[in-house]
Structure 1
């Protein structure tokens, strides 16, 4: 057993001692069928930003836009390459390209190996760096030995994003329209405010549902044309108040399988002051570390949200598998909603 004690409020062990899926276990065949039942018009919506948005690194100085390039073919580049150079009888013209990609730059999933916490799970009085279900940093989620080999030895042998991909991440989802009630102002949404909005719109979350939050933040990002202004972004649109214990308890009690937003981190970052003993990202800690709830960030929900408003609906079928990239702690995603 990797741990003797689990964090307060966590579900470690409830899906098995070696579980790596967390609340995705609730995304059952029945939830898929419930999602399929929401497809009435055969319309589909792309829920991803272009991969080169937001542009620059104003949102996160450590993440940069994709860099595209191609390989060489002899003394030429393998782009608009005429195969007549190989054989005069050939008429083909071919192009290949490659990309250097930060996996969490644009529309993305967080793997459960993305955020862990210091916690004394073995009862020896010393907090260890751990991830969901007690998987250990340095052993199960390995990083580089030092800065000089930052590209070597990086691998989440447990809780990698490929575990999420293998489930296909498809089923019934719902949208909570924060932008409709909060506008584009920077607003901290606590449990009470969230419940008011859900009650007003008749939104009900059932176990296994995938929950999307539309705030309008992606609209602000797109409006900047890959030239984001950090101050504007920091002061735009609704964010969940990760310091609100009632909100965190609702996430636990609701049984939601994943939590998605069109903003940078789902929750406010930086969070409200929590003193000297708390996580910088309390909702990330609660979801990824304690409950095994994958987080989706920077999704494009605008067209879907407007359709749902006009049609008086809030549920839809969502299919959103990440890249099946073994050992990655996050992944771009091109989600599709069907109604």
Structure 2
């Protein structure tokens, strides 16, 4: 699936703003130092940019990604809106009521929800760079909830742009069980880059960037199955409630490691977005405020998805022996919004 390196269109690091049509981009270590930005910030798409890595979803890439559709089968990647029944981190559960307009003839829906309570995108307003309290592209909390709030980093920018491209699934849970590496997704099991590479090799995928001879293209969506949904489905309602209502300090979830190697790989692959099936994507809890969230969202502008339902997709990919697909998502068109349910579909 890789292309010849001689066809690369190379982005020069300090030539701003960057051209999203390039095929090879600077590594994390090559990022330019930007005035007023933390070290490692990739605020490179323009002074007023609100899209971050979604800029990579150019018409040409979306068109190319549509070639992944072979059978036309569609797989929904959202959990039901009322799952989990009791969200973690003291978040409000989804509530659905019916409003009677004319008894027996006409009805409306009424929803009450926290967008972080189920299958979700974390938008750029969700998490700042902890040390500087800067959100993506120099936004601050005052832009969101100050005396004169504005639309910086609002989720509606994603909705206006639209979200579609090639997805790639790494079924780490299946790989680990097949290789006698059992673990509990409700513990802080950290998935290292070496394990992801081994998982990918087991699937016949090379997770180096395409410009280095691998299979990852700029603008791909990375999905990682850790087994959270599988474990959740196996628990009783009482056990689910007990697990979700543990104290904040005792919440534990499997997820990707946050060491330097993992950060460099996630950055250098230039994913348009990453998502997992657990409530946190990264292994939880996080020591010493070293959140991977701050790198993905605040520094790199990379959409971050959590609690995606990857169970059926994993089965279909295993049956086909093919781990790439066309992915669509429709973030909520909410001016000023922080995040959104994913409303995501894989088309095989």
Give the Cα–Cα distance (whole angstroms) in 2 for the partners of residues 100 and 301 of structure 1.
25
Q: Distance in 1 between matches of 2:333 and 2:237?
A: 28
Q: What are the Cα deviations for residues 145-173 of structure 1, in whole angstroms up to 9, with x where unaligned?
A: 8xxxxxxx9x6621111111112211111
CA contact (8 A) 2:253 2:280 kept: no
Shift of the 42–185 alpha-carbon distance from structure 1 to 2, 3 Å rule, reads same
Distance 1:191 1:49 in 2: 27
Q: Over residues 4-63 of structure 1, what are the superposed CA-to-partner deviations in whole Å (9 max), with x where a residue is unaligned?
A: 332222211x10011111000111122212221011111000111000011123x221x1
1:64 corresponds in structure 2 to: 92
Q: Which residue of 2 aligns with 1:185?
A: 183
Once residues 141 and 236 of structure 1 are traced to their aligned partners in structure 2, the CA distance between those partners, rounded to angstroms, is: 30
Aligned to 1:102: 114
Q: Which runs of 5+ in 1 are unaligned?
A: 72-77, 83-92, 120-126, 146-152
Unaligned runs of 5+ in 2: 1-33, 206-214
8 Å contact 1:53–1:226 — kept in the other structure? Answer: no
**2:252, 2:199 → 1: CA distance?**
19
2:210 matched residue in structure 1: none
Give the 5 Å matches for 1:42-121: 42-57=72-87, 59-61=88-90, 63-71=91-99, 78=100, 81-82=103-104, 93-119=105-131
Secondary structure, aligned partner of 1:37 = helix
1:33 aligns with 2:57: no
SS at match of 1:196: helix
Deviation of 1:224 (Å) = 3.5
How many angstroms apart in 2 are the aligned matches of 1:24 and 1:317?
Answer: 15
C-alpha distance in 2 between matches for 1:296 and 1:180: 20
Given the alignment, which residue of 159, 167, 177 partners 1:173?
Answer: 167
2:161 is paired with a residue whose SS is coil
CA contact 1:185–1:235 (8 Å) conserved in 2:
no
Question: Kindly tell me: are residues 133 and 56 of structure 1, through their superposed partners in 2, closer, same or farther at Cα, counting changes over 3 Å?
Answer: same
On the 8 A contact 2:129/2:295 being kept in 1, the answer is no
Correspondence for 2:275 among 252, 260, 263: 260
- The answer for the alignment partner of 1:87 in structure 2 is none
Write the deviation string for residues 222-248 of structure 1: whole angstroms up to 9, x where unpaired: 334655144499898741012x11100
1:6 corresponds to 2:37:
yes
Q: Structure 1 residue 221: deviation in Å?
A: 2.1
Does the Cα contact within 8 Å between 2:86 and 2:241 map onto a contact in 1? Answer: no
TM-score normalised by length of structure 2: 0.78
Say if 1:176 and 1:314, in contact at 8 Å, map to a contact too.
Answer: yes
1:288 matches 2:286? no
> Residues 291 and 301 (structure 1 numbering): CA distance in 2 closer, same or farther, change over 3 Å?
same
The alpha-carbon distance between structure 1 residues 213 and 41, as it changes in their structure 2 partners (threshold 3 A), is same
1:298 and 1:55 map into 2 onto residues whose CA distance is 13
C-alpha contact 1:53 1:222 (8 A) present in aligned 2 = no
* Native 8 Å contact 1:31 1:209 kept in 2: no
Counterpart of 1:142 in structure 2 is 145
